[in-house]
Structure 1
């Protein structure tokens, strides 16, 4: 109940603020007196708010699916190369078919992202299981290599101007008719909820999952497809926003445990709320100019990640040790 209240609170405050914060001042009085306020809401503010919510929620859900597949809490798609490989797919289709539709670009990004995730999964399975921190380090290195490759190819093709759009997630260009592709991410989140129990079993590891009767490889393929599609849709529409799928599932897991059927809706709401908060901060700090939401959330997400590393959850029933207790034991 506590998690639901906090998530709904963040979400409600963020949605109301998002509708009235921007370059053009909009208050309740001007909205009621003029039709221009309604046009602004319909064309810009409501689509932008929906795009932010869908992006944050879908990335958080994709992150928890990725963590269940790898059986490691310190990975997420964008920092494990999924966003970079999706950008690589868009870059290649942009060069080969400049007049390609958005759907074709998304398909190319999804295919390349899926191949990239399969390569990352193959590398992770070769790592020693007793050193879990190697998994995020390999993901960061892998993502860095792919990003460098994308930059090099873009430089050779004279397409560097496109990389800023794909690597810096921001919502200033979202208008009616330019965000609807993100509803596919919403459908994928709903699909993930229906198979949440299977993903939870997947997080126990391959041997345990198979012993429990789970079709391990089929669920892994389904999870990779969902993660790749969400990554492709978000990169094509708004760009890369890191750390969402890393910190949000871990925070919700500390509050509500690992029952995905119960925690997945809270994870989605918390992801949407935090990305919406980052977007609002980006609009306010240098008003009337904007700072990309990815920049704000990069700082926020990195800070939360350090908190997750240095302040592990206390074991149930454990009592804090009294000051100087260790000295008394020595004495």
Structure 2
């Protein structure tokens, strides 16, 4: 109970810090003296930014946990099996064919591409036979790079490369009121995952066990892939790409608390949001008054954690 209270207090402290740290000084204990500019900064920028950090961090981490259960491999995530790259191809398609489309349309088309791309990788993965957990994500990264190259080719052809790169880099400094609200759709998706957590845990045991328990293995797998593709598309369209978060956080939670999915879902969401807020605060303060992109900080810290997980996996296989 004490640990839960400490975690809650720590998270509240992070939220408080995220809201009141920035270039424009907004004194937290002097509300009556705030100028109209300070009110505007708080309501139009700081609050949306903090909320988007929480929602994006939780969504990406939970999506990674879902994919690891679906694929029965702890090193897969939407970043490493082509889901995000397929969604990026969908966004390039929108930029070329529907340049004036709204965010909801962009998200819908990105979802279709992400879903189909993930299904294609699932088909490819059936022919991968290896005792190493690392082989499947390596193939997934190559698969994603092929799709990403196709997206880049069309972006170059239509002179959209700079636009695509700047839009999808995962920079929270441009989050404003009116540009992040799509992320709220991730909340009902999280509830849906939690409701079906038992079934998703069962499919991680394999097709034979799942069928014996009266659960349709293929239908639940498709359902899980659809949720992950939709969640990934929402985050990509709203914020951009956030590397390593979907691999590192679920693995660290599983190492500490076991592999029971229903228990790990809120923990994964909590630590994903916490990690992303910490990275954002570091990016805002390390060279203040300038900012470093949050995705860059996540990439640096996440890659260190990822290398540590790979080394641990290698030692475990040799043992």
- TM-score of Structure 1 vs Structure 2, range by shorter chain: over 0.9
> What SS class does the counterpart of residue 26 from structure 1 fall into?
coil
Name the counterpart of 2:32. Answer: 32
Q: Give, in angstroms, the shift of residue 212 of structure 1.
A: 2.4
Structure 2 Cα separation of the partners of residues 230 and 2 of structure 1:
33
> What SS class does the counterpart of residue 239 from structure 1 fall into?
coil
Name the counterpart of 1:324. Answer: none
1:86-140 residue CA offsets vs partner (Å, 9 max, x unmatched): 1110110111111111111111100000011001111112111523211111111
Name the counterpart of 1:278. Answer: 279
Q: Give, in angstroms, the shift of residue 312 of structure 1.
A: 5.5
Q: Give, in angstroms, the shift of residue 79 of structure 1.
A: 2.6
Q: Give, in angstroms, the shift of residue 177 of structure 1.
A: 1.2
Do the aligned partners of 1:3 and 1:256 also contact (CA within 8 Å) in 2? no
Whether 1:107 aligns to 2:97 is no
Do the aligned partners of 2:76 and 2:137 also contact (CA within 8 Å) in 1? yes
1:141-174 residue CA offsets vs partner (Å, 9 max, x unmatched): 1122222221111000111122223431111111
1:28-84 residue CA offsets vs partner (Å, 9 max, x unmatched): 244331253333221111111000110010011111111111110001102322111
Structure 1 Cα separation of the partners of residues 130 and 71 of structure 2:
11
Structure 2 Cα separation of the partners of residues 31 and 289 of structure 1:
26
Whether 1:20 aligns to 2:49 is no
Structure 1 Cα separation of the partners of residues 169 and 22 of structure 2:
19
Whether 1:42 aligns to 2:43 is yes
Name the counterpart of 1:289. Answer: 290
Closer/same/farther in 2, CA of residues 10 and 140 from structure 1, 3 Å limit: farther
Name the counterpart of 2:249. Answer: 248
Whether 1:88 aligns to 2:86 is no
Question: TM-score, normalised to structure 2's length?
Answer: 0.93
Name the counterpart of 2:168. Answer: 167
> What SS class does the counterpart of residue 172 from structure 2 fall into?
coil
Structure 1 Cα separation of the partners of residues 76 and 4 of structure 2:
24
Name the counterpart of 2:143. Answer: 142
> What SS class does the counterpart of residue 173 from structure 2 fall into?
coil
Larger Rg: 1
Name the counterpart of 2:206. Answer: 205
Structure 2 Cα separation of the partners of residues 17 and 280 of structure 1:
8
> What SS class does the counterpart of residue 175 from structure 1 fall into?
coil
Closer/same/farther in 2, CA of residues 131 and 311 from structure 1, 3 Å limit: closer
1:277-327 residue CA offsets vs partner (Å, 9 max, x unmatched): 111111112222211111110111111111222236999xxxxxxxxxxxx
Name the counterpart of 1:329. Answer: none
Structure 2 Cα separation of the partners of residues 300 and 235 of structure 1:
20
Alignment: residue pair count: 315
- Structure 2, unaligned runs of 5 or more: none
Closer/same/farther in 2, CA of residues 100 and 193 from structure 1, 3 Å limit: same
Whether 1:56 aligns to 2:67 is no
Structure 1 Cα separation of the partners of residues 10 and 148 of structure 2:
33
CA RMSD, 1 decimal = 2.0
